[in-house]
Amino acid sequence: MAKRIDIGGLTAFYGSHKAIEDISMTVEPRSVTAFIGPSGCGKSTFLRTLNRMHEVTPGGRVEGKVLLDDEDLYGPGVDPVTVRRTIGMVFQRPNPFPTMSIYDNVAAGLRLNGSYKKNQLADVVEKSLRGANLWNEVKDRLNKPGSGLSGGQQQRLCIARAIAVEPQVLLMDEPCSALDPISTLAIEDLIGELKERFTIVIVTHNMQQAARVSDRTAFFNLSAVGKPGRLIEIDETERIFSNPSVQATEDYISGRFG
């Protein structure tokens, strides 16, 4: 279920503006990798290159390699639609389909893939909602619209929607930044459970969150405003937060900038 991602020399552009430059790293399967760094350092852009969402933005362009277990996602003939079916994504603001019921939201991805049986669908929906720790809260109102849930519940609904299609990798772009502390805790607990099954990459502004949930942490920085963001270092989370090898990382973590 979970695959390794090898990124080599990845550079991403918005039109002629270079947003991130020459990033190489390995994301281990069945673990949580956190991206931290100051605003504008390109960590969200980098995350969006991993499921080819970056190129959806007008002018978005990518150079370099992203290997998912040796298969280049940017290779010739690779359909971005297929890539996005293999690599799920959860966004900053909860974005359930507003016109759909809770049930239909979770089933949406499966219906796109088209490979399901009707009685299977109900099972997968239940399993995904249970997997997102949401089942007990919504099991009596599966036919109500998803937009009627609280923010935290909506975000877990989006996670359920993403894991329903059994992706290889789950990308999370600041999934808790729009949520209150209790909902944040619920999502963090959930991330801990999900890493048993998926490769998880999470972008966060909250360093405590990175320290709590991740196994490995990557620190991104940019030398000046307008300059492309770069990967400064990636290591075991414990080391990054106790004894980083680069001074800039230590400065950022101890709150001296950013």
Residue 225 touches another protein, criterion: CB under 8 A: no
Distance CA 172, CA 204 (A): 9
Nearer to another protein, 167 or 228 (CB): 167
Phi-psi region of 37 (alpha: psi -120 to 50; beta: other; left: phi over 0): left
Between 19 and 89, whose beta carbon lies closer to another protein?
Answer: 89
For residue 147, the minimal CB distance to another protein (Å) is 5
Can residue 84 be called a binding residue for another protein (CB under 8 A)? Answer: yes
Find the helix or strand (DSSP H, E) in which 19 lies.
strand 17-27
* Residue 32 phi, psi (nearest 5): -110, 125
Binding flags for another protein, 14-53, as an x/- string (CB under 8 A):
-------------------------------------x-x
Q: Is 10 in the site for another protein (CB under 8 A)?
A: no
Q: Measure the CA–CA gap between 23 and 19, rounded to whole angstroms.
A: 11
Asked if residues 164 and 109 have their Cβ atoms less than 8 Å apart, the reply is yes
Separation CA 130–CA 183 (nearest Å): 16
CB of 69 to another protein, least distance (A): 18
Q: Are 133 and 190 in contact (CB under 8 A)?
A: yes
Is residue 89 part of the contact set for another protein (CB under 8 A)? yes
Selected range binding another protein among 68-76, 94-102, 181-189, 192-200, rule: CB under 8 A: 94-102
> Minimum CB separation from another protein for residue 206, in Å?
21
Q: Among positive and negative, which fits the CA dihedral 209, 212, 213, 215?
A: positive
Window 156-175: residues binding another protein (CB under 8 A): 158, 161-162, 165
- Residues forming contacts to another protein in the complex (CB under 8 A) are 51, 53, 56, 58, 81-86, 88-89, 91, 93, 95-100, 108-109, 112-113, 145, 147-148, 158, 161-162, 165
